[in-house]
Amino acid sequence: MSSTDGKSSQDSIDASLSSDAPSMKHGQQSSDDLALRSKNDHPPMETSKSAPVSTVTSPTSTPEKKKGLFGKKVVSPFESRSGDRSKVTKSRSESTTDKSPSSENGKEGKSIVGKLLKKFNNNPRKAEDRTDIYVQPEKKIEESPSEEERQRAHTTSDANVNSNQRGSDEANRRMTDNPSSPREEKKKKEVVFIKKPKSNAEDRLVAHLLIIGVGKTLQPLSAKQSEKNMDLLSRVYKAEQLYSFPQVDKEFPPHLWMFCLPRGVQIETRDRGQTCFPFVLTSATGKRMYAYNITFWEPCSPEFIRDNLLPPKTAVDPKNLPSYFVPKCVCIISHHPHYAVFREWLVEFHKRIFNMKLTISVEQMMINFAMQVPAPPPRNLKVKFNIGEKLVSISRPPITSLPMSDFPMMYAFKVLSLRNLLTVFKCLLVEQKILLHSKHVTLLAYTCETLQLLMFPFEWPHVFVPNLPEVLMDFAFSPTPFIIGALTDFVLPIVDYIKQDVVIVDLDLDQISLPEEAFQLVELPEPESSILMQDLQKFFQSDILSLDNPQFNPYALSRNETSMATTNCYIQSAFLKFFVSIFRDYRQFMMYIRCLESPVAIFDIVNFLNLRPDAMPFFESFMETQAFSMFLEEHNRPKESIFNDWIDNAVYNFTIEDVISKLAPNQASKERFPEVVIVPEPKKLTKENTVEYTVFPVLDEFQLDEGYSLHLAEISKKAPKERADPRKQATPGPTPRELIVEEALETKQREHEVQEKVVRELSLKLVDPVVSEAPLSASEETQLLEFFKFEYGRKAFASALAEERKDEGRLSDASFTQTAEMVNSALREAASNLDFVAPRILVPLTFKYHHIADGAEDHLYNRVRKQDIWQNADFWEKAFFDSSSKQIRELYGGDVRKILRQAPNYTTVKRKELAAKELDEIFRLLSKFAFNMVNLGVAPDTIRRWMLKMCSMCSIEEDQAKILNQLLSNMSRANEMSKAEEEPLIRMGGFKKGDRYLPVGLTGRKEKSEGPELLFNFIEEKTEGKPNPLKKVHQTFKNNWFQKKRTVNQDMKSEEHDDYTVKTFIGHTEGVLSAVLTDMGPISGSCDGTIRVWNTFTAKCVSTMTGHTGWVNLLEIYDDGKLVSGSYDHSLKLWDINKCTKMHSMRGHKGSISCLAVKDARSILSGSYDNSINMWDTRHHTKSMLTFLGHAAPITCLVLEGNTMVTGSRDATLRVWDLRTGKSMKILKGHTDWVKSCRLQGDQIFSGSCDSTIRRWALNGEVTSSVLLEGHSGTVNALLWTDNSLVSASADSTVKVWSLNDTSPSATLQSHSDEVMDLVTFQTKVVSSSYDRSIKIWDLKLESLLCTLQGHGNRISSLRSYGNQILSTSWDNTVKLWQFPIDWRPRTV
């Protein structure tokens, strides 16, 4: 922050921010006063009478050095532009010239610099091929350029040139008509290069100083602005970057001028004064750069008016031309938000050029500020430097202090009432789209910056544009969260369209418009919210609060004048104290499951929420945000921060006054800045050479070149040892409210202890090995069952059973039977109450307690296998996280965070040893959990998905993951082989925000938001018309909002997008497993046992067909108007679609139907969990025509081609059948785990397995050979043959493409975040669906993602394509139909 900040409290916003003017007046000038600026650092040159040239000498010139060669591709103010003029106070008669020496008849290219630029710009190589030109080292020139050559390097701006002030034709020819001189020939051969400064841009306070203005010709901003009937002065034009200092290898984006001139360039008939305001630039990666801009107006030259503003061939006397003005900007670009200093420098810079005589040249001011002032590091250090005659200082607070706020945060609280500001704050925390508008540009910037600082220690990860130009207002239709500021007249035309889902804040009227569509604003937690409001009122409404105090004089004109630093400190402290209060315990819920090499933790959201049930809506909404995820990633490792410091000091018990006095930074303390770095002053001109300007001058390239050799003021890399922090105080005692809560908890705890004692006595009696009869009486059993209704009772029961016993868990038959009943009762109560504590204790006990039956041990787990709690994936995840976290603590002696702090000091060998120990422990723990899950009857696919997720989270190495998968397969096969029918799979929630647990540290970096990339590409498309990955999204903004029509009823929801329509059919009460599309509309089968027929056009469910008693998981059309369905009730049914009635039922399987295929209108084949395949005749439906036996496990896949059928099974084999004989022709062995998918293509068969491999089988002759295709790391769920390539989908979240003769994938398509389950062809593309709830369309030739279809609220269960339509079903109880145009052409991604 700057030490020169003024008072932040003012009476009127309009007075301080009106037009964002920097309190200066731009002088008027006539064409007679305009003169070419001469060089300040070269000796005077002799001039003829016909071509007088004004010069100013300087002792700093060094003619031995080569200067003035610069290779910027863009046209700068001193390349082929006519230059700005200066008025020399020394000699008015000698400073007037008649004609520029390098622009006769427009032949600017004859100057040396012009020729070099022309040579470079005409290079036929592409721009991206020229990068070596920029970095090539400078070649020395023995001879220095002559004065004539130097003079020719200065051309002037067309917008300001005066033809009456150019040199004569004779002088012009003398200076340009000798292009083939030896010196110029030598210069032609020189490489044009960009000079590079000796310091990094991020180490400097100023990265670049830019000049923005009008080019040689006016370019309309859009085609609409080019209409011939439009008045030239009513048009809006483009500006461009004229010059950058220091120059850059890669130019700034061409849209930069839009932020300097948000309204575009307009021609004015008078000087509009100056404006000064900040803005922020965001890259595609989300990195921000901070800018401050000053805009002023300059008169147009007669030539510019004649060429651009008058009809062609119009003869007008230059003296009779009207006056026109165009804007020009000086802009500071920096990596650091030192707004106060930037504004002060720009104001001083402009004032010295136009309103006072210069004692320091313009170039030296730029060199000193841009090349010599370092950016202060984040520690107690001040950098002091001069702005004009004033010595200013800047600093950056250390990481243990409040974040930097080098602007007055007071303005946000002046324009918005406290209640409205807190409303915006709530919207900010839940990542709503927020659009602020005002007539003051600077007010927008300050308010937007204030809002994001109020979130500290959280960060706003999405789009942040405090000053959005008018031409980019379409971005307000973006689907991603944003904070955008825009001028009011930019917002008014679109406000009616965006108010549906955008929070609109009018800063000028103190009004807020909340979204209309299903938006419910969550309330902040209490009492913290009330305390925050009180703290703010103490500061901003102290007068009102004191009115009842007799010592207060309400009639006195007393103003609470406080400095900007004090005000900002108070505001930030109040909001940080609020966050410290509500997140004081966050570290207790970080369960570390890995420490080395990279820490991985799990944040237990559910238990955290249980602490604050009263504020659960707020916490649930906030914890789903990206800001919260980034906060956990940032605080995964122990680190010094003011947030943790305040938690340790129990700031939530302090008053705001105590926080400011004891913990907040003391701005007045001199000891806070033990280091001071002083920047040398810029070089000053001699008194007789003092100059002043009436327009912005032409910059002297030779003088600016000197800046590249300068070094930054030196800053010590090591910070001095700081004294002990006197601000840390002893933690105060608990508040009265906390004492009351603590006393109530103690009372409740004592009651529970008495009841737990009773439960323990009954439980120990239950498992007493001495008792031969039922150990508990009926009354005791009832009493124990009553205790099971409470969590403490179930926990006490499980803990009592877990006590050590000498008999090793052997019970009598009666005791074992009653124990099994009690355990089942406890587990049922736990499942209904989502209690994971007692079941976790009981898991190992089910393997401990047993009795002898038929001479063998019968364990308790055999009696509790059917409990629902075992099928709850959240339970196993919680149990594993708790166990692994405990295991890590035991490995490191209890204090994991201490180990994380010490880890950077460990040797590489020690870190690897500890990491290996962690992996071994996790490997053993996963093996143990897999064993328990298999024996407790968890569905095998659920176990596999759980294992895959845990391996990924724990960073298990690939070879160990394969061992675990193989171990799991062996256990599953041994346990399930004897079962004829598999239990239906239980849906398991994916690891996503909003679930019970939030993973931290998996990526090793901050989560990236799509918003900044979307904005960057949107701007690029607007300015350059380049194709970009998000072009499709950009072009849908207006269509999605201006033309979108939604029709919603109880049956269907339709949404029209720019290139497709999605229709959602709603009506099933449980998950939808299958669907087909007919001419009438979709037909869907569901877990609710029904089949629904839908009409696409009327949006109605035509009929609900019932008959099945189990899940309807398979549907196929076998004839015109005829449907066959397969179900978990072991039957198939035939339906007449036109009549919506059941025709026949076909029974014969003893297990659920697992797969279905239609051979023709008469023949249907079905595979089942009973290990058999049946062939049915639709005309004779009483029993199957043929039964194919041979597989030893359930059938998983079935494909047909002619009279050949191929089936895959859980017995890890495939069989090839002849449908005519019903016999198995071949048995294909090779897989080591279940076969999940197969594909028959000619004489080749492709199969995918749970062993993560694909096999290609050749069926030529009697000998069957196979080729192993490896590449996936998870189950191969689906195979597809298209365009002579094989496409596979896997549980490893990838889609892979395989060439016919290769054993490794030719392409890997990655975008899904969970298992990929289905593949279909769509037009010439491939479509995949995943458990991550998305559908993706891929181009295999480009190996790229074309489109992502999102809308399902749960896992996608099936996927089909029909011409230009895609049909999907999901566990969210819906069916979606995605309709595309016949000639749909996806946009390039």
Report pLDDT digits (tens) over 737-764.
Answer: 455 455 555 665 666 677 778 878 887 7
Judge contact between 1207 and 1197, C-beta under 8 A.
yes
Query: What does residue 812 show for φ and ψ, rounded to 5 degrees?
Result: -70, 165
Least confident span in 253-257, 637-641, 719-723, 840-844 = 719-723
- Asked whether residue 641 carries a pLDDT value surpassing 60, the answer given is yes
Q: What is the pLDDT of residues 864-895, one digit of tens each?
A: 988 888 888 888 888 888 888 888 888 888 77
What's the rounded Cα separation, in Å, for the pair 344 and 369?
A: 12
pLDDT at 60: 36
What's the rounded Cα separation, in Å, for the pair 776 and 788?
A: 15
Q: What is the pLDDT of residues 51-67, one digit of tens each?
A: 333 333 333 333 333 33
pLDDT at 229: 61
**Between residues 958 and 1355, which one has the greater pLDDT?**
1355
What's the rounded Cα separation, in Å, for the pair 606 and 998?
A: 10
Judge contact between 1049 and 1099, C-beta under 8 A.
yes
Report the DSSP beta bridge partners of residue 1376. 1064, 1368
**CB neighbour list of residue 1249: distance below 8 Å, 6 or more residues apart:** 1212, 1231, 1232, 1233, 1234, 1235, 1236, 1255, 1275, 1276
**CB neighbour list of residue 994: distance below 8 Å, 6 or more residues apart:** 620, 623, 624
Q: What is the pLDDT of residues 1259-1283, one digit of tens each?
A: 776 656 788 999 898 899 999 988 8
Judge contact between 295 and 329, C-beta under 8 A.
yes
pLDDT at 658: 86
Which pLDDT band holds residue 1144 (cuts at 50, 70, 90)?
confident
pLDDT at 719: 56
Judge contact between 1000 and 636, C-beta under 8 A.
yes
pLDDT at 242: 87
Q: What is the DSSP string of 1207-1276?
A: EEETTSEEEEEETTTTEEEEEEE--SS-EEEEEEETTEEEEEETTSEEEEEE-SSS--EEEEEE--SS-E
Q: Token pair for residue 787?
A: 């205790």
pLDDT at 996: 65
Mean pLDDT of the region 254-269: 87
The conformation of residue 1045, written as its DSSP 8-state character, comes to -
Which pLDDT band holds residue 808 (cuts at 50, 70, 90)?
confident
Q: What is the pLDDT of residues 605-625, one digit of tens each?
A: 888 888 888 888 898 888 888
Which pLDDT band holds residue 158 (cuts at 50, 70, 90)?
very low
What's the rounded Cα separation, in Å, for the pair 1217 and 1237?
A: 16
- Asked whether residue 375 carries a pLDDT value surpassing 80, the answer given is yes
Which pLDDT band holds residue 771 (cuts at 50, 70, 90)?
low
Mean pLDDT of the region 929-943: 84
Q: What is the pLDDT of residues 452-464, one digit of tens each?
A: 999 999 999 888 9
pLDDT at 1297: 93
Mean pLDDT of the region 140-160: 39
Q: What is the pLDDT of residues 538-587, one digit of tens each?
A: 888 887 877 777 877 777 655 556 788 888 899 999 999 999 999 998 88
Which pLDDT band holds residue 397 (cuts at 50, 70, 90)?
confident
pLDDT at 77: 34
Query: What does residue 113 show for φ and ψ, rounded to 5 degrees?
Result: -65, -40
Cα separation values, 369 from 349, 676, 1199, Å: 11, 17, 74
- Asked whether residue 84 carries a pLDDT value surpassing 70, the answer given is no
pLDDT at 47: 34
- Asked whether residue 124 carries a pLDDT value surpassing 70, the answer given is no
Mean pLDDT of the region 3-24: 47
Residue 207, CB half-sphere, CA atoms under 13 Å: how many?
17
What's the rounded Cα separation, in Å, for the pair 15 and 13?
A: 5
**Between residues 305 and 312, which one has the greater pLDDT?**
305
Report the DSSP beta bridge partners of residue 1191. none
Count of CB atoms situated within 10 Å of the CB of 1286: 24
Closest among 320, 447, 340 to 387, alpha carbons compared: 340
- Asked whether residue 198 carries a pLDDT value surpassing 70, the answer given is no
Count of CB atoms situated within 10 Å of the CB of 572: 22
Q: Token pair for residue 479?
A: 């689907």
- Asked whether residue 451 carries a pLDDT value surpassing 90, the answer given is yes
The bridge status of strand 482-487 relative to strand 433-438 is: parallel
